[in-house]
Amino acid sequence: MIKRFALSLLVALFCSHFSFAADVAKPVLSEVEGQPGKSDNLSFNQLLKQFSAEYTAGLQMPEPPMPADSEGAGVQDDRYWITVQAADRYVRTRLLEAGVDIVEIRKNDLSGIAPKDSLALLAQKGYTIEKKVPLWQYIQSLKDFPAADAAYHNYQETTDLLKSLVSKNSDIASLFSLGKSVEKREIWCLRINSAAKGTASSGKPGAVYIGNHHAREHLSNEVPLLLAVYLLDHRNDADIGKYIAGLDIYIIPMLNPDGVEYDIRTGRYQWQRKNMRVNSNKSIGVDLNRNYDSWFGGQGASHYPSADTYCGPSAFSEPETLAVKKFVEARKNLTTMNSYHSYGGLIMYPWGGKDAPIDNEKDRQVFIKMASEMAKLTNYTPEQSNEMYIATGDTCDWAYDAAGIFAFTTELEGRGFYPGAAIIEKAVTRNVKAAVYMLSVTDNPYKILK
């Protein structure tokens, strides 16, 4: 922790973080001379190769968002990039509640995003705002844009790849929708089970991987999506074959498709974190990772609709989180979960919403052991979720509390705001290893204590 402060590393819990752009106005890979097209028929290794620095170097990066009144900006964005004094996690928790989306944490202060109309409130509450600039201006000042982003899968490409995987592996893979998003997109779930298809029940122990709760964290779609490709590519390997035969595996790569599409639709990043709900004050979005029923609306959640950490009017008010609730409640066989976010390089376990360890000591030991094993495989840091600040309403607290699932939040790697597509290859490779480790204990997580 201290080391991280000293390095002024950007740290994200429940991810404030920015990612890469994807689509729209991007060149289609097949149009790049001498390079293969983004095909649904590529193997895991071929897909990974698409993300290499060499391959993506010639692709164009979309431009950053523009001010609300500039031509072609399309949307009103009155958010500010601010730096505020904050010396500990309790102050950070209060700032989250006041509507600050924390992005960078340093020893004595932090930087993040706040809606314009929350600035007066912050001053009134006595917080010292050291710096503030309109978000669009801040983004334009960043110089280290990546070379390209086109290798990221948008919603349609994600859908196409999932369908292609299922058609090639129809004996063990199936695809179903968890329900529709606010804007009526299907929330896809790929299932790998040698005996049960679609929503048919299974008595086998289950693992679930979820990506893209937060729209701009595009890497968090790539990891579970490519995990699906990997597992099906390696279905005949001894270990993978055993897991496929004995387990019920679910992969939900893009929980927030509306936010993802909004983030990339103009070819300029919108820095969208939330879903696309139209709130009572006409602002857009609820923070899906504050919307679960784990001390809903308590510490670290904002009740301010314009805030990026807005928890929504009630727990599970959003179709995306409600879909996860129904999915989990209908499957008593689930024992493990990994929810991907970016970035920070962390493997986190409950509680995040409470300033205390979990009560059940045996469970706590399982969480710690699993987190440390996955941390070794990813070179990330294992820690309890509340270490940087306390935040209620997150997926993993709820999944453990409501269903006893060993649920982890993985903050994927990456520094800077737009690390580009070249980061995908390494992130996927190491996180596939951790995901496979999770499968290895899904039959009975308690066995690792023996």
- Give the shortest CB-18-to-Zn ion separation in angstroms: 10
What tokens does 310 get?
């807005």
- Which of 17, 325 has the CB closer to Zn ion? 17
Q: How far is CA 31 from CA 12, 52, 152, in A?
A: 36, 17, 16
Instruction: Classify residue 262 as exposed, middle or buried by CB count within 10 Å of its CB (0-12, 13-18, 19+).
Output: buried
Q: Is the peptide bond before 343 cis (omega within 30 degrees of 0)?
A: yes
- Of 217, 222, 411, 413, the catalytic one is 411
**Closest to Zn ion by CB, 214 or 354:** 214
Q: Where are the beta strands (DSSP E) in 169-270?
A: 173-180, 186-192, 206-210, 248-252
Nearer to Zn ion, 97 or 308 (CB): 308
Pick the closer one to Zn ion by CB: 15 or 162: 15
Q: Please give the structure tokens belonging to residue 437.
A: 């480790």
Nearest-CA neighbor of 102 among 301, 339, 315, 369?
301
Window contacting Zn ion (CB under 5 A); options: 8-16, 245-253, 257-265, 393-401: 8-16
User: Minimum distance between the CB of residue 291 and Zn ion, rounded to whole angstroms?
Assistant: 13
Cis geometry, peptide bond prior to residue 81 (ω within 30 degrees of 0): no
* Interacting residue with Zn ion among 4, 268, 341, 354 (CB under 5 A): 341
Residue 411 is a catalytic residue: yes
Least distance CB 215 / Zn ion (angstroms): 9
| Binding to Zn ion in span 28-47, by CB under 5 A | none
Start-to-end Cα distance in the chain = 30
Which two three-digit tokens encode residue 39?
């095909």
Is residue 15 involved in binding Zn ion (CB under 5 A)? yes
From 437, 440, 423, select the one nearest 220 (Cα to Cα): 423
223 contacts Zn ion (rule: CB under 5 A):
no
Cβ atoms of 346 and 13 within 8 Å: the answer is yes
CB of 14 to Zn ion, least distance (A): 6
Name which of 11, 93, 34, 5 is nearest 302 in CA terms: 93
Least CB distance to Zn ion at residue 214 (A): 3
The residue among 217 and 397 lying less far from Zn ion, judged by its C-beta, is: 217
Site size toward Zn ion, by CB under 5 A: 4
CB nearer Zn ion, residue 56 or residue 291: 291
Q: Does 214 bind Zn ion (CB under 5 A)?
A: yes
DSSP 230: H
Q: What residue is closest to Zn ion based on CB?
A: 15
Rounded to whole angstroms, the Cα distance separating 103 from 11 reads 7
- State which of positions 105-144 bind Zn ion (CB under 5 A): none
Supply the minimum distance, in Å, between the C-beta of residue 240 and Zn ion.
28
Single out the segment in contact with Zn ion by CB under 5 A; choices: 213-221, 243-251, 315-323, 383-391.
Answer: 213-221
Contact positions vs Zn ion (CB under 5 A): 15, 214, 217, 341
The residues annotated as belonging to the active site are 411
